[in-house]
Chains A and B, each alone.
Chain A
Amino acid sequence: MRLIPYPPGVIMGGEVIFKGRDLLAISEAEIRKIRGDEIAMVFQEPTTSLNPLFSIKTQLSESLILHRDMDKEGAAEESVKLLKQVGIPDAERRVNNYPHQFSGGMQQRIMIAMALTCNPDLLIADEPTTSVDVTVQAQLLDIIDRLRTEYGTAVIIITHNLGVIARYVDRVNVMYAGRLVESGETGALFAQPMHPYTMGLLSSVPRLDLPRKHELFVIGGQPPNLARIPPGCAFHPRCQFAIDRCRQEIPELEEITDGRHSACFRSRELPELVGK
């Protein structure tokens, strides 16, 4: 989205291909158009993207008029429809309210409605549910999921909640210290993780469906300090399977089996190592 402020943030290289175009190579005006129009983003903090000074109707309408060429009346009608879609009760009346008149969970829903005013091809949801409760979290993710199936919007969910991943996503990319360490189809990845970090993560969370007294696996050490990433594989100081090579060389992300990628020298032997 090119939203990292410069300075201090600098994109050092690479490409971001969206619908065949490199988003890093286009002009600021072009990226701005894509941002509101084709890619929408839902943030952790609803307050950052809702303007406290305008009513919800004004904010939704403005975007509808801009992105969908609607007239004022049509936009007002569509605003109510969107609020209903994201589960705001009494939408006809509430559309005239201001952001502070809604609870945190409702603000999040309004933000999703806001993201939908432009019929995006891609919706990026960054920890969309950390500040809300489990029941509200389930409501919000169900809404996003319904929009995905109804309108064919592609969705990226950024989260540390493994349950959310298991329930809602088709494919997972696991990151550690700024790199992708594993990727694959959700079912396959949970059934047979191929990177020691993923493996540790999955067995370190308590689960409602397992006997209560089962022991949690503990990944030792501290999360990586990005200013002082260790040489070799960044995970090696915390990895129980680390060998000399891991301390010297950075493993590349490579295909291990069909559609399954992992960045670990020992991925192929891992099932056997764990068996021991």
Chain B
Amino acid sequence: MGMDNNNLVEVENLVMYFPVTAGIMRRKVADVKAVDGISFYIKNGETLGLVGESGCGKTTTGRCILRLYEITSGKITFDGVDISKLNKEQMRNMRRNMQLIFQDPFASLDPRQTAGSIIGEPLQVHKLVKGQEYKEQVAELLKMVELEPRMSVRYPHEFSGGQRQRLGLARALAVRPKFIVCDEPVSALDVSIQAQIITLLLRLKQELNLTYLFIAHDLSVVRHISDRVGVMYLGRMAELTRSDELYDNPLHPYTQALLSAVPIPDPAVDRQRKRILLSGDVPSPIFTPGGCHFHPRCSVAMDVCKDQVPEFKDVGNEHWVACWRV
């Protein structure tokens, strides 16, 4: 993967299996191979997008980087530190630098806490402020996400979906992180509100010099917000490159099919496009196919694809792809 001082996050051969148990003895009968050996890096100040079908392992990847799971194997480096080696105390300090925002901020906000205390809590937990400063900081954070300081006395249910996403973001920003995992932050929002949050995320990244891992289903949204995009399929990375390159020159058959499936909101353009139809469904992450995970649905699969895993390699200009055909 090549060590580079400019990388904030480095993921090497990350594997995350969840055991499937059965019976009253909770005997392990199989593994869900949620993440099955992926490597990539995120540079300081960039946004790396992560796309792929439901269940392909995007959220799990994000949570592993934050070390919310004990990983099965592999190595995760954050800011030059191998975080899998950190003890609890060290990890708690490290976590200040890395935050998470989710699709449904309401589920993560305590309904009995006011907006102000939700946002201010991390400041107190990490002992970042004293007395008088506290109120000022909360007001400052609210302004940062374009809410009004007077809203700090309200409860989560008094906010709309888009406003709650702003609250979640303000809370994440309270500890002045370097890195935020944004897991489907706009997927549940009304189209008109999506644009508001995307624009806010882009502005904050610029102003606060943040680095994002941006996870989403919607390829158009991911391309818009990300500098580079990784495409996952069934626990593995199929392709990863600059956003423009991915959309102009997709090399993996799965990426090509995925892009062609996205309808463009302009009939004049969309009805001229060439379509690649994928047959079948995504296989189960428990009984994964041998060789390249995509081969059962791939129209150009060869014999080698059925039993040998293609290497994920750089084919030039930081365009990474895992396909025997390339």
Chain A residues packing against B (C-beta within 8 Å): 87, 89, 103-106, 132-139, 142, 160-168, 186-187, 190-191, 200-202, 204-209, 212, 215-220, 222-223, 238
Contact = CB atoms under 8 A, between A and B. Distances in A.
A128 to B, nearest CB: 14
**Which of A104, A142, A204 is most buried by chain B, counting CB atoms within 10 A of its CB?**
A204
A191 to B, nearest CB: 7
Contacts of A168: 263
Contact of A212 (B198, B224, B262): B224
B208 interface: no
Contact of B277 (A138, A190, A222): A138
B278 A167 contact: no
B54 A133 contact: yes
Contacts of B263: 138, 161, 163-164, 166-168
Contacts of B194: 204-205
B220 interface: yes
A201 B266 CA distance: 12
Nearest to B200: A218
A28 to B, nearest CB: 35
Contact of B198 (A139, A160, A165, A216): A216
Contacts of B107: none
B265 A207 contact: yes
B266 A166 contact: yes
A190 to B, nearest CB: 5
Contact of B261 (A134, A201, A218, A238): A134
A201 B191 contact: yes
Contacts of A134: 53, 217, 219, 258, 261-262
19 contacts: A89-B280, A103-B281, A104-B54, A134-B258, A134-B262, A135-B53, A163-B264, A190-B266, A200-B192, A204-B192, A204-B194, A204-B195, A207-B264, A208-B259, A216-B199, A219-B195, A219-B196, A220-B196, A222-B162
A107 B306 CA distance: 28
Interface string B143-168: 00000000000000000101100000
A206 B221 contact: yes
A223 B266 contact: no
Given A166-B264, A206-B221, 17 more contacts: A103-B282, A104-B54, A105-B281, A106-B281, A136-B53, A138-B275, A139-B277, A163-B270, A201-B191, A202-B265, A205-B195, A207-B264, A212-B243, A219-B195, A219-B196, A220-B196, A222-B160
User: What are the 7 closest A-B residue pairs judged by CB atoms, nearest first?
Assistant: A163-B263, A206-B224, A162-B265, A204-B195, A167-B263, A138-B261, A219-B192
Contacts of B269: 209
Nearest to B190: A223
A216 B268 contact: no
B127 interface: no
Given A135-B257, A160-B190, A222-B162, A205 B265 contact: yes
Nearest to A102: B281
A163 B195 contact: no
Interface in B163-198: 163, 190-196, 198
Contact of A223 (B192, B220, B259): B192
Interface string B224-247: 110000000000000000011001
A128 B282 CA distance: 19
B23 interface: no
